Structure 1
Amino acid sequence: MKPEFENIPLVKNETKKRFEIEVNGHFAFINYGEREHQIALVHTEAEPELAGTGAAAAVVEKTLQLIKDSGKKLLPFCPYVFAFIKKHPEWKAIVDEKFGGYDQL
């Protein structure tokens, strides 16, 4: 994660069902679904003003850390999150082994 994002807090916006960070009034976020022992990440997006800044990667990394800390298992349905985990295999440890694409990570 780029240093400029390290101190930006991750917010779990339960109303919008997304994890988000706010950067200069603009949002990068991941839509999620949650069960007792799992969190599914469905879609990652950054507002156009944040394109190319690393904000999307930062919100993914912060969200993965939150899931790890929660003890829940991850279902990475979002292609961006899936690709992030492939690039950073240390996060595979939090992916639910029953996830359909687990063997491709």
Structure 2
Amino acid sequence: MDLASLKTKDNREANRFELSVDDAVAFIDYKVGKSGDVYMVHTEVPKKFEGQGVGHKLVRESLEIIENNDCHIVPLCPFVRSFIQDNRSDYHHLLSEKAKL
């Protein structure tokens, strides 16, 4: 697996960010609120890729997509919330007023 060559995509029809890895897909389910805030609900990484940086890459690139679309986030998923807490200086500006860490 060459993680550096993989790219997270926004699958708007399924309301999730996806990172295809070999024959599997890691994803973050999201919902867009009336105000345009992106509620990051659930992250899932295939078991065989856990602990290999797939989840962190998925979150980081999902946040870049959100930032490029001038949106704010509400991290409901514990994994996403933890990532943002650990990287607060890089991503705090993306938090919606409604977000709680």
TM-score (ref. length: structure 2): 0.87
Q: Specify the SS of the correspondent of 1:44.
A: strand
5+ long unaligned stretches in structure 1: none
The CA RMSD measured in Å over matched residues stands at 1.4
Residue 86 of structure 2 is matched in structure 1 by 87
Residue 49 of structure 2 is matched in structure 1 by 50
- For 2:64 and 2:94, locate their aligned partners in 1 and report how far apart those are by CA, in whole Å: 9
The alignment of Structure 1 onto Structure 2 pairs a total of residues equal to 98
Q: Specify the SS of the correspondent of 1:57.
A: helix
Distance apart, 1:97 and its partner CA: 2.1
- For 2:67 and 2:4, locate their aligned partners in 1 and report how far apart those are by CA, in whole Å: 17
- For 1:98 and 1:33, locate their aligned partners in 2 and report how far apart those are by CA, in whole Å: 14
Distance apart, 1:33 and its partner CA: 0.3
Q: Specify the SS of the correspondent of 1:61.
A: helix
- For 2:70 and 2:5, locate their aligned partners in 1 and report how far apart those are by CA, in whole Å: 23
- For 1:13 and 1:98, locate their aligned partners in 2 and report how far apart those are by CA, in whole Å: 24
Deviations 1:43-82 (A, max 9, x none): 0110112111110111000000111111011010111000
5+ long unaligned stretches in structure 2: none
Residue type at the aligned position of 1:16: A
- For 1:93 and 1:19, locate their aligned partners in 2 and report how far apart those are by CA, in whole Å: 20
